[in-house]
Structure 1
Amino acid sequence: MRFLLVLFLLEACICAKGCEIGWIRFQSKCYMFSHTVATWAEAESLCSAFHSVLAEPRSHEESMFLISHSENEDIIEEDRWIYSSDQQPTKVNDFHASQPNQHTSANCVALWKPFHGHWADEPCTTRYNFICESPQESSGDVIG
């Protein structure tokens, strides 16, 4: 199964320290795994509505944790992969040996289970499940 990273959250309460209800903690981040599908743009909007971003794995360990999820884009320049939240180049190149496959329309990244946590480039218009991430500590605001 292939997933694009983002969150779909119907209701949640942010705790003073830790993760929102229904989110999963890994290292210093909290993740919400969607049960619905969306394009990259739709998923980004959903994450933003909940003060989070599409998950951006910055280590192989994080990629493995998010085994079926990931998003990056190379729209600005082919084969230059950046994180969408801060426009910084990815420091981790965790593509599967067969990826990226040089398709000019494949500007987003997905993690596929058969690739064992390694990245694959995919069109951003393809609908996948998604994951959002946020820092573990929050402001204590209530959402939902």
Structure 2
Amino acid sequence: MNFSIPLVLLLCILATAAEALGTRLTIRESSSGCKAGWKKYQNHCYAFFDQNVNWFQGQMYCNELGGTLVNIENFEENAWIATQFTQNSIWIDATDIGNEGVWRSFSTCQPTLNNWSAGNPNNWRGSQNCATINYGGPGMWDDDNCFKNRPFICESLGNA
């Protein structure tokens, strides 16, 4: 079954996501070149947010901060993220919305690295189209329902 969200519905979800997240953060730059409270790895900055939001809301919130949900590009980055952000089932940038089984970065539209946990991705009940990290073990990925509320990680360039 091919699952896709009508564009109008997606735009509505994205347009209202910021309101659902509540208060805005005041962000200053630190000496690392990242915003205060963000962690630097290679040339990128990362921040964990423990607000439980759906995948679309996480994308919008990260966008408002000048980034995206974390786009994991290699196994070294995946391992670093798993050691820095240890909570289970955290939203990341990967999705197969629109083309079941073809996982891409939402922010770049490029195929994603993947580190699926055993038996995943499984598209359980035909409704799992967004990826999380730290499911079934540190750094392991799971496909999940995009409308579940979960914490998330944002990523931006080091000077953003």
TM-score of the superposed pair, with normalisation by structure 1 = 0.81
Letter in 1 for 2:127: S
Measured in 2, the distance between the counterparts of 1:62 and 1:55 equals 10
TM-score of the superposed pair, with normalisation by structure 2 = 0.74
Q: Does 1:99 align with 2:114?
A: no
Letter in 2 for 1:129: P
Q: For structure 1, list consecutive stretches of 5 or more residues without a partner in the other structure.
A: 1-6, 139-144
How many residue pairs match? The answer is 131
Q: Structure 1 segments of 4 or more deviating over 4 A?
A: none
1:71 Cα deviation from its structure 2 partner: 3.1
Q: Which position in structure 2 is the counterpart of 1:109?
A: 131
Greater per-residue helix proportion: 2
Measured in 1, the distance between the counterparts of 2:63 and 2:93 equals 14
Q: Is the 8 A contact 1:60 1:117 kept in 2?
A: no
Q: Cα gap change, 1:9/1:23 in structure 2, threshold over 3 Å: closer, same or farther?
A: farther
Q: Which position in structure 2 is the counterpart of 1:55?
A: 70
Q: Is the 8 A contact 1:95 1:120 kept in 2?
A: yes
Q: For structure 2, list consecutive stretches of 5 or more residues without a partner in the other structure.
A: 1-20, 83-87
Q: Which position in structure 2 is the counterpart of 1:64?
A: 79
User: Looking at both structures, which has the greater relative contact order when contacts are Cα pairs under 8 Å and sequence separation is at least 6?
Assistant: 1
Measured in 2, the distance between the counterparts of 1:50 and 1:59 equals 23
